Amino acid sequence: MTDQNSSKSLEAQIAQWRSTVRRRSVLQAGEVATLEGQLRAQIAELSRAGLATEEAFLVAVLRMRSVDTGSREFARERSDHVWKQLVAAPTDSVECRAAARKDAIVAFGFAVLAGVMIKLPELFGISITDDADKSFYLRNASLLVLSCLIGYFVWKRRLAMRTVGWLAGAFAGAVVFANLPAFGSARGFEPLTALHLPIALWLGVGIAYTGGRWNQVSGRMDFIRFSGELFIYFVLIALGGGVLCAFMALTFTSIGIDPGPFFQSWLLPCGAAGAVVIASWLVEAKQGVRESLAPMLTRLFTPLFAAMLVAFLGTLLWSGRGVAIEREMLIGFDLLLVVVLGLLVYSISARDPQAPPGVFDGVQVVLVVGALLADAVALWAMGARISEFGFSPNRVAALGENVILLVNLAGSAVLSVRFLIGRGSFQNLERWQTAYMPVYAVWAAVIVIIFPPLFRWIGA
């Protein structure tokens, strides 16, 4: 009965949309029918991804508002009404409450499983507190945790078995390459594997999260938003966990018990692993909130980082000094560029694609151009370091990452300037960023799989 009611409600809403399009646009009947087919296809796709019928209808109409005047007018007239209906639905519908409860229980189960997976190697004599085994955990922690996160999205998105099989095969290959003596566990390559394997595996999380929409720009952009929100929630959970540990240490120490070993062996590793899944569930549960925390932080820090890069480049030119080529300095420089790129990508994901260029877009152009010039400076310093000390796996990996960043930033700068001066659309910039995402995962996979045998062969 519930499905029949939802179907009737959807048909009534589509009929209202059809009437508005016919009144407010100059489209012929055949063209309206074509648009309706596109609308229904969008609704079906969003419903398969896990959205409720009413929510799928609203999102589909909002996506099509750039196609014709009628859809734009309908979205403006109906958005408030439908939005209130969506916000009220979780509290008014018994089915929605039951679905939310089930989702929370399943997410908690996968969080517990992530904690168990972290402790599972101890059955084979590999201890997380043993210094000799820390290399194993550094290489495999992402495998153990992200497999549980992907399992949660496999359940939630009801992924096709073919997709599940590809993801399982990718993780099985990652296990092999991360632990074979000739690859990830080779002496000197453990840090590279530990750093780059999570980047490669995060592509698998994106495929599971988008639920069959990875090939669409909107699906990849949704995953970017999810990644930013996940980071924010994870940090907040970590801060709360730090407070919990502090009070626990205070209370147990007062009675002569040292909780340190328990923290080190159980609470911290299992809590951190489970927090990844719980933070993901929180992002999913809060996805109906229009003004989330991450976009606001992005708008706050983008001007600050843009000003900092301008000040740095101006000081560099005025003083005539070069960038220090010490390893720690270059690592810090690369981390800065990654943060700047994150601000750029997330500011794109949080922006209304239909809005005209504004002041914030100009600030974003300054940020992109500043980051591009800073990356060029970093590449020059990196080239000087390689010419002085020669090639090594770490230097080549960093050089490749900086080149990838340079191409990404250069394309973003061109498209951002074109949009700002009215020569291009914002969708071009959005499409460039989302299409470029797999490049980072591919380079990370190359480092994990190709670098160990390659540099062993050339004797570097």
Q: Comparing 293 with 151, which gets the higher pLDDT? A: 151
How far is CA 322 from its chain centroid?
Answer: 34
pLDDT above 60 (res 93)? no
The per-residue pLDDT for range 369-395, each reduced to its tens digit, is 988 888 888 788 788 778 877 788 888
Tell me how crowded residue 338 is: count the other CB atoms within 10 A of its CB: 13
Q: Is residue 393 within 8 Å of residue 460, measured between CB atoms?
A: yes
| C-alpha atoms less than 13 angstroms from C-alpha of 41 in its C-beta half-sphere | 8
In the block, residue with structure tokens 């309908």: 74
At residue 248, the pLDDT reads: 75
Q: Which of 81-95, 184-198, 348-362, 392-406 is predicted most confidently?
A: 392-406
Indicate the pTM of the whole model: 0.67
Q: Which of 46-50, 238-242, 432-436 has the lowest mean pLDDT?
A: 46-50
Q: Is 430 exposed, middle or buried (0-12, 13-18, 19+ CB in 10 A)?
A: buried
- Please enumerate in sequence order all residues whose Cβ is within 8 A of that of 200, keeping only pairs 6 or more positions apart, or say none: 174, 441, 442, 444, 445, 448
Angstrom distance (rounded) from CA 332 to CA 335: 5
What confidence category does residue 85 fall into, taking pLDDT thresholds of 50, 70 and 90?
very low
Rg (C-alpha) for the chain, rounded Å, is 25
CA separation for the pair 455, 16 (Å, rounded): 65
Measure the CA–CA gap between 287 and 425, rounded to whole angstroms: 27
pLDDT of the residue at 69: 45
* 211 phi and psi angles, rounded to 5 deg: 60, 50
Residues 283-320: pLDDT tens digits?
887 764 444 566 666 776 788 888 888 887 887 788 77
Q: Where are the domains of the chain?
A: 2-92, 95-285, 293-458
- Check if the beta carbon of residue 444 is closer than 8 Å to that of residue 227: no
- Distance (Å) of CA 62 to CA 39, 199, 204, 253: 10, 32, 28, 57
User: CB-hemisphere CA count at 13 Å for 102?
Assistant: 8
Q: Where are the alpha helices (DSSP H) in 180-289?
A: 190-210, 217-253, 260-262, 268-285
CB atoms within 10 A of CB 300: 10
